[in-house]
A and B are shown apart, each in its own frame.
Chain A
Amino acid sequence: MSVDQNTVKRVARLARLKVKDEDVPRLAGELNAILGFIEQLNEVDVANVEPLTSVVTMKMKMRQDEVTDGHYPQKIVANAPAQEDDFFMVPKVVE
């Protein structure tokens, strides 16, 4: 599988990364080099192998479904680039 320049633009859009047109050929080359390196996994017979989901065998922990934390909106928004009345401010999204 090889990545062309349109694919780079599409993936960058999915990743919400603005990519300059002049950088697209370089990125396509780099991604193809990495994907080429990854291709060797196709040699491995993975039939009847389960994907690894946990590296240590342990039972999933459960907790009580109850509120144990919260009530400090000022702390939540303290690092926001723009905030007002304990809300995050963003550009207008609804006309």
Chain B
Amino acid sequence: MTSLTALTIAAARDGLRKKQFSALELTDAYLAAMEKARVLNAYIVETPEQARAMAKASDAKLAAGQRGALEGIPLGIKDLFATQGVHTQACSHVLHDFKPQYESTVTTNLWRDGAVMLGKLNMDEFAMGSSNETSYYGNVINPWKRKDSNAALVPGGSSGGSAAAVAAHICAAATATDTGGSIRQPAAFTGTVGIKPTYGRCSRWGIVAFASSLDQAGPIARDVRDAAIMLKSMASVDPKDTTSVDMPVPDYEAAIGRPIKGLRVGIPKEYRVDGMPAEIDALWQKGAEWLKAQGAEIVEISLPHTKYALPAYYIVAPAEASSNLARYDGVRYGLRVPGDDIVDMYENSRAAGFGREVQRRILIGTYVLSAGYYDAYYVRAQKVRTLIKQDFDRAWDKVDVVLTPATPSPAFAPGEITDPVQMYLNDIFTVTVNMAGLPGISVPAGLSADGLPLGLQLIGKPFGEETLFQAAAAIEQAAGGYTAPQWW
């Protein structure tokens, strides 16, 4: 038999059902693989005892014929999700020693369906970053390397630990979150599949807040089918999050393999940005050809406000972050650094607890919200958001789904991008989706000249996740899958 960790969720599900192996054997295989892969720094906390206890419980349920949708499937959990009694610190020093007394709704749903927790995954501090270089726990190493090179590369961010762990087969799939591209960009950098669902599809309760009007949870998985299986379990309406949507969660897996004949695929001309590498452009055209060959109709469309999405994002996201992160004051939880008085204590704790990128965004957010600037910045940005959303609303008259590149480049080296604005440009193709609240999926579609994975993004109508899985599966079928050669 092939190695248990090589199995997708769908394959492991079959193996468990046929009793080819037990949930405990599967979990033990992952725990051993995690130990070998520590050089990647994907996990910041491993929870082997909990994992084994959960796997044993799954074996008991499997024996009794009570199989949940993810029964016995070992998962990695991004450090942003509250897990009761287990390290949950958003990879920030400011949450030093924090162990929540409660469980996030998304992880509660996963455990309800029988999934097993392997540990907590590394990420950019408070999900602010595109390279996993801002984590208090150090960089994550991408399992992929350039052809003929030994140099380490970033896995993307902020869900860099999730993407690297899925690509390295040290979890069957992982939870992740996406505020401006934090699921789709690392998925593209690691040859994995990542979907940010429609805003409101997953509950945000128990997820450490970054920018509340943009944050959404979603999975990173090895293929489109596994992403569909994961999202079905993660999504729910939740009385604890009033922005979660009371709509039935469809059987996303059923959308895979549905013919795409007649599907109208939009190609937005504004995504052909200056300086875009030829290989990204070629990949994009190839993706359109693959869909066309399977019967889809390719339609040129225009989304005229695309270029304003990123600057508007860098008002809205820091503004909301500066407000959300005001709670870290050294009083109720986390790091406390003493001071001369209480304000001095707040200032010392926050200065010592937050890293550079987080402090930068708090300062920007505080500035744009400060007296006299609110209308000029935040309100204007929210108006631009309306225009971005209207661009898409008009496009939906002509197309069912939009195809774009996922990222403007393949993975880069740590330290290669030091200018904050240059780093922000990584999210140029993904951030519009958050601004409009739409679902977006990144699917691996090819390799760069250097041998690194490249992804394509499909953007859907609100709650059009099924169409995304259907179209992404069509791309996957044409492109094939990509597995990082194991060097660790």
Contact of B341 among A8, A31, A91 (CB under 8 A): A91
Query: What are the residues of chain B within 8 A of A11 when measuring CB–CB?
Result: 363, 366-367, 370
Question: Contact: A31 with B308, CB < 8 Å?
Answer: no
Given contacts A11-B363, A17-B351, A17-B354, contact A34 B314 (CB under 8 A): yes
Query: What are the residues of chain A within 8 A of B479 when measuring CB–CB?
Result: none
Contact of B347 among A1, A16, A39, A81 (CB under 8 A): A16
* Most chain B beta-carbon neighbours within 10 Å: one of A11, A31, A50, A82: A11
Question: Contact: B342 with A91, CB < 8 Å?
Answer: yes
Query: What are the residues of chain B within 8 A of A15 when measuring CB–CB?
Result: 322, 350, 362-363, 365-366
Q: How far is the CA of A39 from the CA of B389 in the complex (A)?
A: 21
Interface residues of B in 69-99 (CB under 8 A from A): 97-99
Q: Does A58 contact B (CB under 8 A)?
A: yes
Contact of B343 among A16, A51, A55, A82 (CB under 8 A): A16
Question: Contact: B314 with A38, CB < 8 Å?
Answer: yes
Question: Contact: A93 with B200, CB < 8 Å?
Answer: no
Q: How far is the CA of A18 from the CA of B98 in the complex (A)?
A: 23
Q: Which of B9-17, B276-284, B373-381 contacts A (4 or more CB under 8 A)?
A: B373-381
Q: How far is the CB of B333 from chain A (nearest CB, A)?
A: 4
Given contacts A44-B305, A52-B389, A80-B332, contact A34 B364 (CB under 8 A): yes
Question: Contact: B98 with A81, CB < 8 Å?
Answer: no
Query: What are the residues of chain A within 8 A of B347 when measuring CB–CB?
Result: 16-18
What total count of A-B pairs have CB within 8 Å? Answer: 156
Given contacts A11-B363, A90-B331, A90-B342, contact A44 B308 (CB under 8 A): yes
Query: What are the residues of chain B within 8 A of A52 when measuring CB–CB?
Result: 382-383, 385-386, 389
**Chain B contact residue count (CB 8 A cutoff):** 73
Q: How far is the CB of B356 from chain A (nearest CB, A)?
A: 9
Query: What are the residues of chain A within 8 A of B339 when measuring CB–CB?
Result: 91
Interface residues of A in 35-73 (CB under 8 A from B): 35, 37-41, 43-44, 46, 49-53, 55-56, 58, 60-61, 63
Query: What are the residues of chain A within 8 A of B348 when measuring CB–CB?
Result: 18
Query: What are the residues of chain A within 8 A of B382 when measuring CB–CB?
Result: 51-53
27 contacts between A and B (CB under 8 A): A1-B376, A3-B367, A7-B367, A11-B363, A15-B350, A15-B365, A17-B359, A17-B362, A31-B367, A33-B419, A37-B310, A37-B421, A37-B424, A40-B311, A41-B381, A46-B380, A49-B387, A51-B385, A52-B385, A56-B462, A61-B246, A63-B239, A76-B101, A80-B332, A81-B331, A90-B331, A91-B338
Query: Which A-B residue pairs are the 4 nearest by beta carbons?
Result: A55-B437, A51-B382, A81-B336, A79-B333
Binding site for A on B (CB under 8 A): 97-101, 198-200, 213, 239, 242, 245-246, 305, 307-308, 310-312, 314-315, 322, 326, 329-336, 338-339, 341-348, 350-351, 354, 359-360, 362-367, 370, 373, 376-377, 379-387, 389, 419-421, 424, 436-437, 462
